[in-house]
């Protein structure tokens, strides 16, 4: 038996057609200056030296090991390696779970410098591993050679500090804050180190650096504020702060606090439109996530895309993807900016993907949907004290991408006993489709709180007008527990993969668990992970394939049994789209980096990597006589094994 999330029964091995043609050096060159390649989050590279015809010759050419990996113990939190590096001015920059920053030679992996912030918050408190998804880059309008900090690397740490480094030397910029550091706890109020800190890269807009922070889920009503702030990139001075409280809200703050507690936080990746001076913010939930009866309307901006004026922080518009969210369906993906003829009349647009598998296409300047969004009735009758929204928004172009059907007939099981245990759970739990509310008796939630789509985001081909996305398809169970019953539970009585959260200040605690069979397999039908291509012009799905296998989760030979198609694997991370008509992705639990043909969805290359690649790959090519590289962080997470391997690939001669 096994309890970890499963994937496909199909064994995958490296594939790719033999090719002996010389490497083509005539194509474009490009750096990777932003987390997703550009400020709009396209995850698209214009490079085409690596193509469908020659991807079989892709080989690993260097790896870098930071040493910053830990499985977790009594004194140290576990690490997760989720970074997407930058390549700027012929230098590669990346950060680790211990918040060290490395500068490397992009073509050899040789170290140029390393900065250690002396992280203080390495302890095990809190539910999350140590992670740093990326850094940001800024340079002066006319950088002067030899002058310190004319080019800067900026990032946040678990010590709740915003740090600015000289990109040339790695030394802290003395003119930024206090010796290169700005304290992000100012005005936040008391909270343990693990409850509030940034995990995603900041966004640089002109001479401002903008960022939010993670706020730990499900703990209490008065969680730290979800404020988003902008700082002067030279001095570290705070320029503006957006405190996401509704218009007319009666703000109540404790002494020394500048921002309202319990507001939706912004932990994921921001996007920016420099031409229009807008910052696009994906918001989480008001606190706590699974009961909204005590929020007092603070979820006005929750589970939304919010457009802020980059100069002032004022709200330009906002679009809510879930009303009164009690499912932890916070907006976790980076808003993706595009403008494509034939999509929404060619308007400047934004695609917002969600954990529910919904993709909302919005006018970038107004927030209005480019295509009809229907408010549909959803299940009611939650718990006493809760007021559910009677409707939820559903996109019609494209239609929802995540399956939502669970019936006794379509439940999965490796054996009749397996399937029977799933059917019994389905009979015992409430399931009325997507947006079934949490109940005292227990409910099924599908999609999972991890998605659908998560922080890995989507990729868009700006020429072909096609969106590509990976998804996880796993159902879970949720039960609200009356306060006295929850408080009487013995400490440690709930063990992984079950979760327990107190939601202090409400009448309930919450218990969550995967919807698994007695043998530890997902009860919902496969695929349990997928990759999908969507034509944004027509809204139609072009193809959908399973992503991943059960290798490293299921015992041999179970994962190697031939099957008619991929069952897929849960996946965490995102994909890279290139002009060479390839889509690269790690993400899955089975420790592979894969390349897919963007026209057919066929997997045409893969490489077995030392740890799961729970990050988003990137690509660069420095000069006309240089090779194109693809780089991924393969360092896994506490569930699949922790590591520290940054891997680079290029074509063999």
* 467 token code pair: 């969106």
Distance of alpha carbon 260 from alpha carbon 198, whole angstroms: 18
- How many other CB atoms sit within 10 Å of the CB of residue 58? 23
Q: To 10 degrees, the CA torsion angle through 449, 241, 156, 38?
A: 80
- How many other CB atoms sit within 10 Å of the CB of residue 75? 9
Helices (H) and strands (E) in the chain, counts: 2, 40
Distance of alpha carbon 573 from alpha carbon 587, whole angstroms: 5
Is position 328 annotated as part of the catalytic site? yes
CB 348 within 8 A of CB 276: yes
- H or E element at residue 146: none
Q: How many residues does the chain have?
A: 653
119 Cβ partners below 8 Å, 6+ apart?
A: 98, 99, 157, 158, 159
**Three-state SS sequence of 496-520:** CCCEEECCECCCEEEEEEECECCCC
How, if at all, do strands 359-363 and 373-377 pair?
unpaired
* 331 token code pair: 């907006």
Distance of alpha carbon 309 from alpha carbon 315, whole angstroms: 6
Where does 414-542 have alpha helices with state H?
416-428, 483-487
| Lookup result for tokens 């900026």 | 154
CA distances for 164 relative to 115, 269, 581, angstroms = 11, 19, 37
Distance of alpha carbon 192 from alpha carbon 170, whole angstroms: 29
Q: To 10 degrees, the CA torsion angle through 235, 239, 245, 247?
A: 180
Backbone conformation region of residue 106, classed left if phi is above 0, alpha if psi is from -120 to 50, else beta: alpha
Distance of alpha carbon 102 from alpha carbon 631, whole angstroms: 15
Distance of alpha carbon 477 from alpha carbon 602, whole angstroms: 34
Q: Cα 210–204–207 angle (5° rounding)?
A: 95
- H or E element at residue 530: strand 529-535
CA distances for 162 relative to 136, 157, 347, angstroms = 11, 7, 35
CA distances for 275 relative to 44, 309, 348, 350, 481, angstroms = 20, 12, 11, 14, 50
Given 328, 461, 552, 590, the catalytic residue: 328
Active site residues: 328
């Amino acid at each position: 038996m096994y309890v970890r999330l499963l994937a496909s029964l199909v064994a995958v091995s490296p594939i790719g057609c033999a090719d002996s043609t010389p490497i083509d050096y005539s194509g474009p060159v490009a750096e990777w200056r932003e987390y997703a390649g550009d400020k709009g989050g396209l995850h698209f590279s214009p490079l085409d030296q690596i193509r469908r015809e020659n991807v079989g010759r892709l080989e690993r050419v260097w790896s870098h090991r930071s040493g910053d990996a830990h499985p977790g113990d009594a004194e140290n939190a576990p690490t997760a390696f989720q970074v997407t590096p930058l390549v700027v001015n012929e230098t590669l920059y990346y950060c680790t779970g211990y918040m060290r920053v490395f500068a490397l030679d992009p073509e050899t992996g040789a170290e140029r410098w390393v900065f250690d912030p002396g992280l203080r918050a390495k302890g095990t408190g809190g539910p999350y591993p140590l992670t740093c998804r990326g850094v940001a880059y800024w340079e002066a309008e006319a950088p002067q050679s030899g002058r310190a900090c004319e080019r800067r690397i900026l990032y946040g740490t678990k010590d709740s500090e915003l740090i600015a480094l000289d990109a040339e030397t790695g030394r802290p910029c003395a003119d930024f804050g206090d010796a290169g550091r700005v304290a992000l706890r100012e005005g936040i109020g008391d909270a343990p180190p693990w409850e509030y800190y940034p995990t995603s890269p900041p966004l640089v807009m002109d001479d401002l650096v903008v960022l939010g922070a993670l706020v730990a889920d499900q703990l209490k009503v008065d969680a730290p504020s979800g404020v988003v702030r902008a700082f002067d990139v030279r001095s570290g001075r705070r320029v503006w702060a957006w405190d996401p409280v509704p218009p007319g809200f009666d703000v109540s703050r404790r002494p020394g606090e500048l921002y309202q507690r319990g507001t939706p936080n912004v932990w994921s990746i921001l996007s920016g439109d420099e031409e229009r001076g807008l910052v696009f913010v994906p918001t989480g939930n008001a606190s706590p996530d699974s009961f909204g009866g005590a929020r007092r309307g603070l979820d006005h901006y929750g589970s939304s895309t919010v457009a802020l004026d980059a100069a002032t922080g004022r709200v330009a518009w906002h679009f809510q993807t879930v009303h009164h969210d009690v499912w932890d369906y916070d907006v976790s993906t980076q808003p993706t900016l595009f403008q494509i003829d034939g999509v929404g009349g060619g308007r400047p647009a934004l695609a917002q993907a969600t954990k529910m598998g919904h993709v909302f296409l919005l006018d970038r300047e107004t927030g209005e949907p480019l295509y009809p969004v229907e408010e549909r009735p959803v299940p009611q009758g939650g718990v006493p004290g809760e007021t559910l929204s009677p409707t939820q928004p559903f996109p019609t172009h494209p239609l929802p991408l995540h399956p939502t059907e669970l019936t006794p007939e379509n439940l999965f099981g490796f054996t009749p006993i397996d399937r029977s245990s799933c059917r019994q759970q389905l009979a015992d739990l409430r399931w009325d489709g997507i947006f079934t509310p949490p109940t005292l008796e227990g409910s099924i939630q599908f999609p999972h709180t991890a998605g659908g789509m998560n922080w890995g985001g989507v990729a868009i081909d700006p020429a072909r007008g096609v969106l590509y996305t990976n998804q996880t398809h796993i159902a879970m169970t949720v039960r609200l527990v009356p306060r006295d019953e929850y408080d009487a539970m013995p400490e440690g009585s709930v063990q992984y993969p079950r979760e327990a959260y107190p939601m202090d200040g409400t009448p309930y605690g919450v218990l969550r668990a995967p919807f698994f069979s007695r043998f530890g397999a997902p009860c919902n039908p496969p695929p349990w992970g997928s990759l999908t291509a969507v034509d944004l012009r027509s809204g139609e799905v072009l193809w959908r394939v399973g992503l991943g296998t059960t290798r490293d989760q299921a015992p041999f030979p179970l994962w190697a049994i031939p099957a008619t198609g991929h069952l897929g694997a849960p996946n965490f991370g995102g994909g890279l789209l290139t002009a060479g008509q390839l889509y690269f992705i790690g993400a899955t639990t089975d420790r592979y980096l894969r390349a897919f043909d963007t026209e057919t969805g066929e997997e045409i290359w893969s490489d077995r990597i030392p740890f799961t690649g729970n990050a988003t790959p990137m690509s660069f090519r420095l000069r006309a006589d240089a090779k194109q590289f693809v780089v991924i962080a393969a360092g896994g997470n506490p569930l699949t094994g922790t590591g520290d391997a940054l891997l680079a690939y290029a074509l063999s001669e």
